[in-house]
A = this chain, B = another copy of it.
Amino acid sequence: MRQSQLFTKTRKEAPADETSKNAQFLIRAGFINKEMAGVYTLLPLGFSVVNKIKKIVNEEMNALGSQEILMSTIQPKEVWEVTDRWDSEKVDVWFKSILKNGTEIGFGWSHEEPITNMLKSHISSYVDLPVYVHQFQTKLRNEERAKSGVMRGREFVMKDMYSYARDEKEHMDFYNKTIDSYKRVFDRLGLGNATYVTTASGGVFSDKFSHEFQTICEAGEDNIYVHKDGKMALNEEVFNDKTLLDLGVSKEDFEFKKAAEIGNIFTFGTKKCEEIGLYFTDKDGNKKPVYLGSYGIGITRVMGVIAEVFSDNKGLVWPKEVSPFNVHLVRLGNSDASLAFADRLYTELESKGVEVLYDDRDLRPGEKFADSDLIGIPVRFVVSDKTVAENKIEVKYRTSAEAELLSETDALKIL
């Protein structure tokens, strides 16, 4: 797209009350707009990044055999009273409101209860199981503090998946398959190297447990301990003598790190389905409760964590898989020669299916480069009178300090 047509403008300053790096850069570069503390709008660039994250996540969830749905935001209280999660004293992130007839309603902060309740209409026999469903849903949470930009919003996009299984083996097989699937997701998102699967609660060898996917990140709100082998990490709450003894590892081999939780998976065993009344009849005609697992990835949070982890002092640095565009084509000057070259190159790249942001604006080179660094598309092509005279393109990666002059053929090869 031509940058002159993109309605968002970059800005020099973020709102004064915005302390987090991710929100500062994302706002300044025009990816998001701050509506109020913890509430952000996705502008075209941010909308594109979020869609790319969703696409990768969706492909991996489909590969697990999950079916996509979209649950409602508005929640009737009856469904949540059954499991004692309606009371705001017990769940302190509810937003609630009332219908005109006085009926109290809530706004979805999670969806185990309504999904399990809905499935009572569709699951009755062992042949109906297993069932895996997921959604990309805007969650609303009445967070006390909202100070980490899109890393902890009052409104955010989450992928939540739920597994319903006949027995513990089927349940745990899927749980473990999802761990592998999540690793692929975070590898594809460019966060694989910085992300650890941590045992988060319940102890390593206990029945009730959960796992978190924690990305090393100074702005993260979690504390984890990473083993020097680089493969094992433990959340602070399970980093104790008993766990260390169970694992046969020594305290001294762990290093403390700040981290951001970008995914979590946990098992409800059969408890939730028993409470809600989701049972099935097995092969022998016995009534049995269903096993439930719950698997989240914070989609907008991932955007924030990527912005934290990969940015530098000039701005954002997108991994290529989630960059809003494949290449930033920057034209310097308005001479006929550079205009003709850049326009033709733009058309040609688009015709090949390359996503191009074409800076066709009438600005000084310094302003264009500053915008380009701030927006953070991984590859930049510069076309100027100088490059046209040599019939070359100046190619620069966002992550490298130096540019190089390449022929068009060579430049296209790197995309």
* A interface residues, Cβ below 8 angstroms from B: 5-9, 11, 30, 33, 35-36, 39-44, 47, 50, 65, 67-76, 79, 95-97, 99-100, 105, 107, 114, 118-119, 121-123, 128, 131, 133, 138, 140, 142-144, 154-155
Contact = CB atoms under 8 A, between A and B. Distances in A.
Contact of A7 (B36, B97, B131): B131
16 contacts: A7-B131, A9-B121, A9-B122, A11-B121, A30-B122, A33-B118, A33-B121, A36-B105, A41-B71, A42-B69, A73-B155, A95-B97, A97-B97, A99-B142, A100-B144, A107-B107
**How many monomers of this protein are in the complex?**
2
Given A33-B118, A41-B114, A140-B74, A67 B7 contact: yes
B95 A140 contact: no
A128 B30 CA distance: 14
B114 A155 contact: no
Contacts of A5: 65
Contacts of A74: 35-36, 39, 140, 154-155
Given A7-B119, A8-B122, A97-B107, A72 B128 contact: no
A143 B103 CA distance: 13
Contacts of A41: 69-72, 114, 118
A47 B33 contact: no
Contacts of A144: 100
Nearest to A137: B138
B138 A73 contact: yes
A44 B72 contact: no
Contacts of A100: 142-144
A35 B107 contact: no
Nearest to A38: B74
Contact of A75 (B35, B44, B79): B35
Q: Give the 3 A-B residue pairs with the shortest CB-CB distance, closest first.
A: A42-B70, A36-B76, A95-B97
Given A97-B107, A118-B33, A138-B138, A133 B72 contact: no
A370 to B, nearest CB: 17
A69 B40 contact: no
Please indicate which of the listed interface residues A35, A99, A100, A138 has the most CB atoms of chain B within 10 Å of its own CB. Answer: A35
Contact of A155 (B7, B36, B72, B119): B72
A123 B9 CA distance: 8
A312 to B, nearest CB: 24
A35 B97 contact: no
A96 B114 CA distance: 22
A408 to B, nearest CB: 28
Contact of A70 (B47, B105, B114, B142): B47
A244 B5 CA distance: 43
A45 to B, nearest CB: 10
